[in-house]
Structure 1
Amino acid sequence: MDAGERLLYTDRSLHGNKPPLPPIVCERDKIALKEVQNYIKTELQKVGCTTPGPDDRRYWIYSTAFSKLISKVTVYKDILSDIKREYEDCIAALKTGQREAKFLQVKIKTLSSLPTTVNGYQRRQKELENRLSILNSENQRLENTLNELLKIGEEDNSSTGDVDNINVEDSVAMTTKTEKFEKRPIPGLPVIDWTNEKTLKSAVENLNSVIEELGKQKKTLYVPKEKRDEMLQEFKEKMKEKEQLAIDCAKLKKRHKLLKMANEAAREYKELALHRKGGSLSDYILKKVTNYSMKRESSLLIDSPHAGFEDDDPSREKEAEMILEYIEKFNELFYDGEYANAATHAAISPRGVLRAMETFLRFKEVSINYVGTPTPLFMFAEAFMYSSSAQNHFADEEMSYECVNCALNENRPDMVLHWVTQGCIKSCKAVADRLCEYAESCTQNKDSCLAAAQKMYSETSGCKILAASLLYKIGQVAGMLDYTHVEKFTRETYFELLKQCMDENLVWILSRTTPDEYSASDDSASGQSERYISYQSPLPIPLSHSLIHLIQVGDDGKILAVQLLDQIYNGQKVEKVGDSDDSPLTASDLSKVIYEDGQDAYDNNDLVKRRWKAIAKECENQDKFELAMDIHAAIVVRNTISKALSVIAEDEKEQFDYYT
């Protein structure tokens, strides 16, 4: 009888069949029980398994807690340990069974797919057998062909009595060599792709494309050395022909000059009537021609003392050969990838033979897929511009635009500004337009790019309006007015400027600026104001005329015109009161502006009245009824004042006529 049975027997003997009393729990057991419960709760929260259910982590937590509980008791430790061990063995057996079941399921699936695998291997076997049969038949065909060729060679050798007959050993060696050549690995392909038909086809296509490209390069990039010698000889012949033509031309010019002198001498002889004095015409002509020849020879000796040795210069004979060698050196540097050296070499080429658009296009082509900065195209553009001033071979409009476009694409506006300052770029509209386009996208260098573009516009014919509009856009209003006066803008030209800028402030400036005010703003010490004395400026432009022009431009012009009138109506525009520089600024009044509008020799009162009525109608169309009413009232006031002034003038005239 073990300890558990003895304890149960003793309990029954003491109490009989009565239910046992609840156990008396001591303080030590309470503490132990509380520790175990806290341990279980804490561990479950750590691993995140608070929800009841089958889980290995919960199992290990409760197993550990059970072990701790067993360690706390003394009487039931053995039986509880046995119970725990039995449970663990049972659970381990269940887990082992699950693992074996999974393994058996995988094995069953593998066995079930075995027939499919066998069928696949059988099909692969048939495919390889078919390929093997094809290869055997091809080998047999090649062997038959080789035997036939050997027989034909033996027959030819036997018929001609040639000693060098092909024996069996040579045929075997040839066959072995052929087989060895055919069995060597394919370069660039792994072994696994040797039997892949698609990979082999793509490799053949690549090889064909490489062969085709090499053939094109052979035809276009390389020529035989004999061709170079022929070209050199032809070049020398052309140079000799050119020298002979130059000599003939000099002789003809000399003869023409002598004949001209003889003709002039004959006319002079006739006018002076020298034949009456006893002198003959031939002697007079001979004397004039002799004097001219002596003067010419003395001047030639003074101006060019070494002219007689120019034809004997050996460098002229080698010039053609040097140019060809220079071009060959450039091609070598270019195809070796030394683009920086090639660009410098082309930029400083003799006679500028490589400073052409064809060279630029070659650098542009290789720069498309070039990785890195700067690109070969920018290298050539930089070298081209730096060598322009040194060789006096300045770029034309097309080359200037391409170089500037390349530099701006590389985000190097500083280089473009340097070229413009040094005068390496030819001023043209295309370059200026490209600078304006870049200035819109790059705010950091906007002012400098616009200033350079304005300089090019001002130096290009037909771009004066664009130059003036750029001056206004960069805030140089005084400079814009100075430029328009220098270029003698007419009223129509100012209207084109308004159309280009479309700004209400410019309309206000042109309508309030007078030539006197503008001349006073200039530096009197520089003498710039003197040039306006002889030129009648069209400023100020009547405000009604400018507004009518804006309304005729389109919807944007109509909105701009009404917006300017609204600003004047609300007192947002200011002007000087008086002619001095210290005159105060006051808000402009619409009635005053309308009254003072057109008070010059260009427009009469009726024309100004019709303009303001059209402007008022446009204000009504844009729902500016108060503004339109104010304009109509100002027109009535203007007409009334004009009539009153005309009546007063007539009365004064009558009084003057009466007293005189």
Structure 2
Amino acid sequence: MSDTGSGYSTPTSGFMRLPPIVTSESDRQFLRVLNDYIEVELRKVNPEDDEQRYIVYKTAFNKIIEHVTAYQPLLTTIKKEYEDTIEAIKKAQREATFLHGKLKAMASEPSTIRNYRKRGDELEERVNIVKKDNERLHNQLIELKVKRMEREKQEKEITEPPKRELKKDHRLIPGERFTDKELLHTKLEELDRQLKELTISFKTRYVPKTRKTELKDNLDNKVAHRDMLLRQGQFYKAKRQRLKVASEAAQAYNREKPPHQTVGDTVMMSLQYAAMQAKKQREAVTHVEDDDVQLRINGRTPLLMFCDALMPSAGSENARPDARLSLECVECALYENRLDLLSHWVAQKRLTFSEEIGHLIKDHCKCKIPCRCSCQALAQNVFIKLKIYKEAIVCLLKQGRVKAGLDVVRQRCNFSREDYEELLRMSPSIQLLHTLVEVDNKGERHLPIGCAIMNLMEQNKFDLALPFIQEMQNKPSKDDPHTSAFHAAVLDDHGTSLHEWNELVHILQDQGYNETAMGLLAAITVLQAMKNALRTSQEEFPTLGQSENIDVLS
């Protein structure tokens, strides 16, 4: 059966027939290169790893699809069917692993309930032992009190007072130390040294108040003289410019000597033209804004020079600039990135602080936690002086000073659970997470671990949530070294629902953290088993918890 024309149709059936795969020497060369590529890549990968071998053959298949244009639809369909089948197999394997772990956990649930019942009996026995010890100690205490009362009664019956012993007085006689020559000589040298230091300090650091007035008058005179010289310079500069224009116009007239025009006419026309150009230039300059800070003098803008010159006169509280002017000075310093000047102004109390200044400095920081540019420290000082402690705490947390921030919370604030959640949203960090979910000195947790993790998930902070969970799983609990801190925190979390825990497990699996998801699933299963055990024990023995006040979950 031969091909006729370009349609590749058969004479008997009339259907389109695909062209042969190998039709030229280039196709044979392509097949040889492809086989060599497959052999080289297979030698590079692990022969027992099916995933890597699949990637090699998948890449080779893609190259064949790109090379054989006529078979592209058919080969693409075949490739899609293989990929769907492989993906279905992988999904089934993941589900089988997950269901196997869940089935294993559910299978161990009856033994867990039996162990907790046994633990409840042991605790009840220990309570009885403690009660007996308390009664024995109480009886011993009563006996000791009786013996003490008898001893005190016998001591009161003794009528003879005890003999008093005379104590020797080793104090110096008044005035005795003023007769010691060495002591007086040492004191004299110390006073002479202090006198010299005060004299030098008086001569070098302090001057009479009249000297300040003289210096101010001298400065005013020099400023007036400088302004007069500037005006003279501008006048002479304009005069020189006019003479230069007149000279150049006269020289041009002498070179050309145009008819019907004198030298005076040429000079006058040139001066008028120069005056018109100068006027246009002045009008263009007046369009520039007066507060344009882009002009720099010695590396500083005029506005920053004004702010820096204003601060030395703001020593007292009454001489400080008002809130609006202080805000403008802070904006200028931040715009020029002069945090050294701003730190000096804040430390010397040269500004009138306001909440807007604190937020402006805090928002200028672009560092990741912890802050390295000192903006958060400056904003913290401002908020502390204004007694806005919540914002000051946020600044401390952004500096990485979690302990100091929570100390301020205990001393100055009364935070609720919502406040701690807001702190976590404003300045999330792994150190803050550990501090909030761990048990404090009072035996309490600021936030349940489920609430903290869900808070991070809502902000898409996977880079913090996943390492935090792994660190908690690798860290032993304070109460039981054989139990992880994460397991203990999950058991103490009574606010997170089972549905929310399951959502977190699915998220961890989707991100590829299967081991972490299995650890969380194990903790959830134990928590659910404990709740079921408690509910069963309450149904069977309704008066046990009420009579003995035993908390099975603890």
- TM-score normalised by structure 2 residue count: 0.44
More helix by share: 1
Structure with the larger RCO, 1 or 2 (CA within 8 Å, 6+ apart): 2
Bigger CA radius of gyration: 1
- TM-score normalised by structure 1 residue count: 0.38
